[in-house]
């Protein structure tokens, strides 16, 4: 199979790497080997169909040793190794070319993404704020590095992390740093009834179903030229997944009740606190859609993994409420000893309570404990945390008129865990027995 497309002249090569060498993931985005990947940590990797290649492909349009990729530091050198069908970058056939991280290279019918390896910890951002995100901790500064690398590429991103870790904030940062002209459209797959979700996502024509008195665009059209953030993507019904995958692959879709194809362009960012790979094994999530969404995977760290950020976040939440936080440094230090199962969302709720009722009311024994004579550290810590937990639970129940289920949802806690806390502190929810 020959290819008559003209070759570009070889670019001037650099012989010495520039910048630190960080691992790079070679990830197949399109083609027969969708989702296959390999990590290049140093030196050169060969891509082809030979078993001896670092990344082995089965695409019959790929040569036995098709191309090599050399890690230079902040960039990579791609060299065609005399392949039958050539190597293309930015639509042009190349013999050797230096490309940035995030570049897409085509070989035969396979599209290969050269991505920063997100598990690499060698490079850490010096920032403590990035596009609305805050963090001094090593976990967040590593995440900032990944966001800065990934945001301009336009690649799909899957955000993973526990409930309350701020995945929507990560999506907003990725969109803000992407340079997209359109808006960020947030679509919560878990907040729409499964029967209504296709219409909300794809839009519908007039008369498409009972009650459709007028045509209406869906979230896809609202995200055109921008970013579509699919929150709780694991809740996307299995029957809607093929049509959504087709949108990602071709840009085309149909409104419900229409036979005219519409076209859209957007970047997709998906988020979930569930294990999508486990969902794939269970058969509730399509494997090809998973690989399409998970071109890049970023994880939002739990608050217990970034305790250094609690004072910074607490002050930020207080300022957003138009005040300063009436907690002493010692009080803030005490809060860092709490395990925060509800993560950042729980901290924000706690700050709201402190701002509304005052530090002494929110943590009734905190002021006296700080003024009293020194006592055993562990005893002090346990006493203060017990006071904090009880006052926080009381405030949540009062805010939600005694409904433990509503209070647990607002706190970002599992209902079973919330009930255990209520029982521990002798609190009785509405209609409960203690």
Strands 184-188 and 226-231: parallel
* Pair 41, 51: CB distance under 8 Å: no
8 A C-beta contact, residue 411 and residue 400: no
Task: Look up residue 38 and give its two tokens.
Answer: 């390999």
More confident residue, 370 or 108: 108
Predicted confidence (pLDDT) per residue in 381-408, tens digit:
565 566 667 767 777 787 788 888 888 8
Q: Residue 213: pLDDT above 80?
A: no
Of 272, 36, 281, 24, nearest to 158 by C-alpha is 272
CB atoms within 10 A of CB 73: 14
Determine contact, residues 115/107, Cβ cutoff 8 Å: no
Strand intervals (E) in 303-358: none
Q: Answer with the residue of higher pLDDT: 29 or 255.
A: 255
Among 394, 399, 321, which Cα is nearest to 364's?
394
Residue 406 CB burial class (10 angstroms; 0-12, 13-18, ≥19): middle
Tens-digit pLDDT profile for residues 330-383? 565 567 667 788 899 988 888 887 777 765 444 434 334 443 444 455 555 565
Cα 196 to its chain centre, rounded Å, is 25
Q: What DSSP element (H or E) covers 291?
A: helix 287-293
- What's CA 312's distance to the chain center, in Å? 22
Average pLDDT, stretch 166-183? 94
% of the chain beyond a pLDDT of 90: 41
For 193-209, how does the pLDDT look when each residue is reduced to its tens digit (9 = 90+)? 888 888 899 987 776 67
Q: How far apart are the first and last CA of the chain?
A: 76
Q: What is the DSSP string of 351-389?
A: HHHHHHH-HHHHSTTHHHHHHSPP--HHHHHHHHHHHHH
In angstroms and rounded to an integer, the radius of gyration of the C-alpha atoms of the chain is 26
């Amino acid at each position: 199979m020959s290819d008559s497309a003209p070759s570009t002249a070889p670019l001037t090569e650099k012989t010495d790497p520039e910048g630190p060498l960080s691992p790079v993931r070679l990830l197949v985005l399109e083609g027969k080997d969708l989702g296959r990947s390999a990590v290049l940590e140093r030196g050169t990797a060969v891509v082809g169909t030979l078993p001896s290649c670092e990344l082995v492909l089965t695409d019959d349009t790929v040569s036995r040793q098709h191309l090599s990729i050399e890690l230079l530091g902040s960039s990579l050198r791609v060299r065609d190794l005399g392949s039958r069908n050539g190597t293309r970058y930015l639509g042009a056939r190349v013999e050797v070319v230096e490309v940035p991280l995030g570049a897409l290279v085509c070989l035969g019918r396979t599209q290969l993404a050269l991505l920063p390896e997100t598990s690499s910890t060698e490079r850490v951002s010096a920032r403590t704020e990035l596009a609305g995100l805050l963090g001094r901790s090593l976990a967040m500064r590593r995440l900032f590095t990944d966001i800065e690398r990934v945001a301009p590429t336009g690649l799909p991103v899957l955000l993973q992390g526990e409930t309350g870790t701020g995945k929507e904030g990560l999506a907003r940062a990725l969109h803000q740093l992407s340079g997209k002209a359109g808006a960020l459209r947030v679509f919560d797959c878990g907040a729409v009834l499964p029967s209504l979700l296709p219409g909300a996502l794809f839009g519908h024509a007039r008369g498409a179903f009972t009650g459709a008195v007028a045509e209406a665009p869906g979230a896809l059209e609202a995200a055109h030229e921008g970013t579509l953030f699919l929150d709780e993507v694991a809740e996307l019904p299995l029957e809607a997944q093929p049509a959504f995958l087709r949108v990602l692959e071709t840009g085309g879709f149909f409104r419900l009740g229409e036979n005219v194809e519409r076209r859209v362009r957007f970047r997709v960012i998906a988020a979930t606190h569930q294990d999508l790979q486990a969902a794939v094994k269970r058969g509730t999530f399509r494997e090809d859609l998973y690989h399409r969404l998970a071109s890049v995977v970023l994880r939002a760290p739990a608050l217990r993994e970034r305790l250094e950020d609690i004072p910074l976040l607490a002050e930020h939440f207080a300022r957003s409420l138009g005040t300063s936080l009436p907690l002493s440094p010692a009080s803030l230090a005490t809060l860092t000893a709490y395990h925060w199962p509800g993560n950042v969302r729980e901290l924000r709720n706690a700050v709201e309570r402190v701002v509304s009722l005052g530090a002494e009311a929110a943590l009734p024994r905190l002021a006296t404990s700080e003024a009293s004579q020194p006592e055993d550290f562990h005893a002090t810590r346990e006493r203060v945390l017990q006071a904090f937990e009880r006052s926080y639970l009381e405030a949540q129940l009062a805010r939600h008129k005694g409904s433990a289920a509503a209070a647990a949802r607002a706190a970002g806690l599992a209902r079973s865990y919330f009930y255990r806390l209520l029982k521990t502190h002798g609190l009785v929810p509405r209609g409960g027995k203690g």
